[in-house]
Amino acid sequence: MKKDMIIKRFTIKNFGKIHDKTMELSPGINVLYGENESGKTTVHTFLKSMFYGIQRQRGKAARTDTYSTYEPWENPVVFGGTLWFENGGKNFRLTRNFYKGDQSSEFLCEDDGEILDLDKGDLDAVLGGVSEVVYENTVSVAQLKSVTGQDLVRELQNYMASYQGTGDSELDIGRAMQMLKMSRKGYQVQAQKQQKETEKEKEKLSANMDYICNEMQNLKEQKEDLRAREESLHMTEESDGEAILDDRIDKIRKNQTSFYATMLATVIVALGGIFALGRMMPGSVMPRVVVGILGLLALGWEFIHIRNLSEELERRKRMKVRWVQKQEKMRWNRENLDEALKEKEKALENLRTDYQEMQENVYLPLAQEMEIEALNLAMETISKLSSNIHKYVGEGLRRRTSQILSEITGGRYTEVLMDEGLHMMVNTEERTVPLANLSRGTMEQIYFALRMAAGEVLCGRERFPVILDDVFGMYDEERLAAVLRWLHKEQRQVIISTCHKREMEILKKEEIPYNRLTL
């Protein structure tokens, strides 16, 4: 059987608006009465802070965190108090000072005088490992003042569905699914952007390949045109134009040599003829003159022909020089065209390789697609868990919630149900009623039953005190009386904070003993 934790008394030295306030608590029902803004929530926060400390936030969040909200205006170096409580059959005294410049604590077991160490987890061990999250989601209950009816339906469904046996009912399946969907959407956008960039890159590569192919075709046409010009000038390997020109020059030189010999022969013949005629006709001058004239005419014609041959030879030499220059220029052009064509072929090969690699990568999953696949798997897993959660999760919680709900509603609602779609309903003797069709007061009763059941299931060996901070604002007198009777029957310590006197009036009417505390 579980043992109850009992808060015996506490002294608020300096916390928020409360200073030097000591309160003695009884093991049963305690009613903390005070007007609005009198400090009831401050007491609520003080008790939680004594058990779990105050975690300071960073940045802008620090302006409204618990520390800043409850830091005293006067004498802030004294910020805390002392708590006396019994747990596991032993009595403890816990003192804390939360001031940031002088944080200190003392945890004493009064039965044997042993000083325990908070930093080593001694308080956590005494509390049975009950985390702050469990505490806030079970035995420490505040009024749902700002929660609408539809929000409360969602809160109840999530509270039941997210219970995993660890007590951290922070898991909101709907919110988790929404966050996963948002993450998936982000990766989908990235994947689409990556795919568009890939398509643009492929289009760019394709355009570059087309451009280079056109340039290569132009270079090939230039080579064909150059080859045609080389053939017309006999500059190809098949037709050696230089040999043709050399042959023509050799022929002219041979003609020159022949004509030089002819001129020599003409001179010899003319001189010989003149000499012979002088011997044959000593007194005759005319024949010799005629022979001389004929010889001179022959020499003149031969001289003219030789001069023409010399001019033709020089023209042929100049033609060869120009031919050789054109040949060198065409060979340089051909080499440049060949080199440019090789460069284009290499560039085209590289582009085709890049395009092929990109085309092959299309069939490989992107990093974003792998993330999307992982998110889809997570969402599928959560969906499966959600659809089957009622079969294996929280059955003990559901049964205990149903039992408490039946007791505080006088048997009107006997069972809490939840289908595979996580839609909660309550069972009456005649029919099942969807949560959304219930009154706000009934939904708050279900919420209360859930919290009490979760507290019993999750709070370890000892039952923690139930702290109810203005919880019953939406309860009518009948519902409130039923809850108070149930709390009294459970024989556990309860601290009810209220700004109304009707709780005390109903307790008196029901003859339920209670301890009144006044702020």
The whole-number pLDDT of residue 307 equals: 79
* DSSP-derived pairing of the beta strands 104-109 and 114-116: antiparallel
- Which residue's structure tokens are 């209670």? 514
Q: Could you give the CA distance from residue 220 to residue 215 in angstroms, rounded to a whole number?
A: 9
- Across 114-123, 286-295, 347-356, which has the greatest mean pLDDT? 114-123
Q: Could you give the CA distance from residue 304 to residue 422 in angstroms, rounded to a whole number?
A: 124
Which of 23, 30, 6 is CA-nearest to residue 514? Answer: 30
Taking residue 406's Cβ as centre, other Cβ atoms within 10 Å add up to 18
- Tell me if residue 35 falls in helix, strand or coil: coil
Kind and range of the H or E element at 195?
A: helix 173-232
Q: Could you give the CA distance from residue 255 to residue 250 in angstroms, rounded to a whole number?
A: 9
User: Which of 28-37, 151-160, 336-345 bottoms out in mean pLDDT, i.e. has the lowest?
Assistant: 151-160
Q: Is the pLDDT of residue 5 over 70?
A: yes
The whole-number pLDDT of residue 170 equals: 43
Predicted TM-score (pTM) of the model is: 0.57
The whole-number pLDDT of residue 276 equals: 66
Cα distances from 496 to residues 34, 468, 516, in angstroms, run 11, 5, 10
Q: pLDDT per residue over 40-70, tens digit each?
A: 989 999 999 999 999 888 888 778 889 999 9
Q: Could you give the CA distance from residue 161 to residue 338 in angstroms, rounded to a whole number?
A: 76
User: Band of the pLDDT at 8, cuts 50, 70, 90?
Assistant: very high
- Tell me if residue 113 falls in helix, strand or coil: coil
- Percent of the chain past pLDDT 90, that is, above it, reads 25
Q: pLDDT per residue over 410-454, tens digit each?
A: 888 888 886 655 567 888 878 888 878 888 888 888 888 888 887
- Percent of the chain past pLDDT 70, that is, above it, reads 75
Q: What is the mean pLDDT of residues 395-407?
A: 85
Q: Is the pLDDT of residue 120 over 80?
A: yes
* Whether the Cβ atoms of residue 235 and residue 241 lie closer than 8 Å to each other: yes
Instruction: Give the orientation angle of helix 477-490 with respect to helix 440-458, to 10 degrees.
Output: 10
Q: pLDDT per residue over 215-261, tens digit each?
A: 888 888 888 887 777 777 655 555 565 666 677 777 877 777 776 77
* DSSP code of residue 82: E
Q: Could you give the CA distance from residue 227 to residue 243 in angstroms, rounded to a whole number?
A: 19
- Across 49-63, 65-79, 180-194, which has the greatest mean pLDDT? 65-79
* Whether the Cβ atoms of residue 249 and residue 314 lie closer than 8 Å to each other: no
User: Band of the pLDDT at 283, cuts 50, 70, 90?
Assistant: low
Burial 141-176 (b: 16+ CB within 10 A, else e): bebbeebeeeebbbbbbbbbbbbeeebebeebbeee
The whole-number pLDDT of residue 253 equals: 76
User: Which of 31-40, 240-249, 297-306 bottoms out in mean pLDDT, i.e. has the lowest?
Assistant: 240-249
- Give me the long-range contacts of 395-403 (CB less than 8 A, separation at least 24): 396/457, 397/160, 397/163, 397/450, 397/453, 397/454, 397/457, 398/160, 400/453, 400/456, 400/457, 401/160, 401/446, 401/449, 401/450, 401/453, 402/427, 402/449, 403/453
Higher-confidence position of 486 and 372: 486
Q: Is the pLDDT of residue 164 over 50?
A: no
Q: Could you give the CA distance from residue 94 to residue 123 in angstroms, rounded to a whole number?
A: 9
Helices (H) and strands (E) in the chain, counts: 13, 16
The whole-number pLDDT of residue 463 equals: 82
Q: 109 pairs with which residues across the strands? A: 92, 114
Taking residue 253's Cβ as centre, other Cβ atoms within 10 Å add up to 14
Which amino acid type is present at position 86?
A: E
